[in-house]
Each structure stands twice: as C-alpha cells, then as structure tokens.
Structure 1
Amino acid sequence: MSDTYYTEDHEWIRVEGDTGTIGITTYAQGQLGDIVFVELPDVGKSLDAGDEAAVIDSVKAAAEVYAPVAGEVVEANDAVVEKPGLVNEDAMGDGWFFKIKIADATELENLMDEDAYKTFVEGLG
C-alpha cells in the first residue's frame, strides 16, 4: 500500500515502507510550462525537510524542488535528466525526481493529503 502526500510548494511524496518517491504535481508542471532541464540530488545526499533538493528549468521559469521530509537520497530518476519533458507528460508517474529513505515518518503529518491539496490548489485560482 502506498500513500501520497503533498506540500504547499507543489511537491508530492509517495510513501512505500520507509522510502518516499518525490516529484512535482501536475499543477506545478502546468504552471512551469515546457520543462527543458532537470538537476537532481546525488545518491547518498542527506536532506532535511525543506532543503532544496532539485532544480527545474522551463521555458517560463526556473524552480526549486524541496525535500518534503528529511532523509537520504537512495535513487535519482536519470530518465527525467535525459528527457525533462517526461515531467510534463507524467508528473505524478514516470516523471518522478528522486527517492529518499525517510528519516522520521512523523514529518509526513505536516503534509497535505490529496483532498487537502486539491482544496489548496482550488484556493489559488
């Protein structure tokens, strides 16, 4: 079973066991437009919740991706580095950025569930 949580900065984390897969939301990729470059964190890097973890460049803007929780990067998705447009095509699936071994699962309590995130995005309109 997996659970997905969201941040106010439009990152998502899908939790399976003690590992979280992190990316940006469909809303975020839509706001950025065509993504042309992605820089991911190195495997083994330790991150605290809120740390800048990745960088995205699009035709509209540059943006940072922040770690939703603390932990150690255990995998980076080289596919989005080679083909940044994958984030536009499937932000919540194949367009994920990196995986992290979660240091403290209680930090997930600070994030939004899907319903709360939808309400948050609706309030941005």
Structure 2
Amino acid sequence: MKSKLKYIAIVLLMLSAFAQICLNNILIKRINIKPVSAQVIKKYKDLTQLNREISELNNTSILSADKKNNIWYTQLKISGDKQIILEEIKKLEKYEINNYIISKNNTENCVIIDICGNE
C-alpha cells in the first residue's frame, strides 16, 4: 500500500512540474518579452548647433573646439561676477560637462568649462 502511495505522489509531482513548465512557456510567448540592451545610445550635437546655442548665452565665449570620435568637445569661458556665472551655468544643464577650471583675479572672475552637447 505504501509503495502505491509513493508512486502516486511521484506521478502527481511530475505532472505538476510538467504543467508548470508548459504554463510558463505559454505565458512567456504571450508577454513577448524584449531583451534590454545595456548600451545607452547618445546622440551628440554638431559644432553649428553648439555654436548657435552658446551664442545665445551672455558673457560666454568659445575658446576652442575639438572633434574626437565624431563628438565635438567645446571649451567655454564664462566671465562676470558670481551671480552671472551661476546663471549661465544653470543654462548649460543639457550639456555634458567634462571638466572645469575656476579662476578669480582682482579684476575678473571666470570659469572655463569643457562640454559636449547631447541631443
């Protein structure tokens, strides 16, 4: 009698495992899961777009621009008092800031920023 109960229990466990596998496969096909890519594709602005947007800023001048790997890296100089510099930096939120140098003399305060623009 005990061997029949063991046999029935084993068969029931195997059937439930098989049913779970089948249901799982059906649900995966129904949901249509798309794999997520780990790479983030960034689009960068070209030099004319950067120049047009930066020329709208006050107290800001372009010192240099270099193209590396099809991305324009631009060096800006923002000059003025503390409040003006902070206002201009707030306008640069949409840019990727790579490096900066803060310089303060008796006559001039300025920040030199290396940026590249994301679209």
Same fold (TM over 0.5): no
Q: Per the shorter chain, which TM-score range? A: 0.3 to 0.5
Q: What TM-score comes out, normalization by structure 2 length?
A: 0.35
Higher Cα radius of gyration: 2
Give the TM-score taking structure 1 as reference length: 0.34
Q: Which has the higher contact order (CA 8 A, sep 6+)?
A: 1
The structure with the greater share of residues assigned to strand is 1
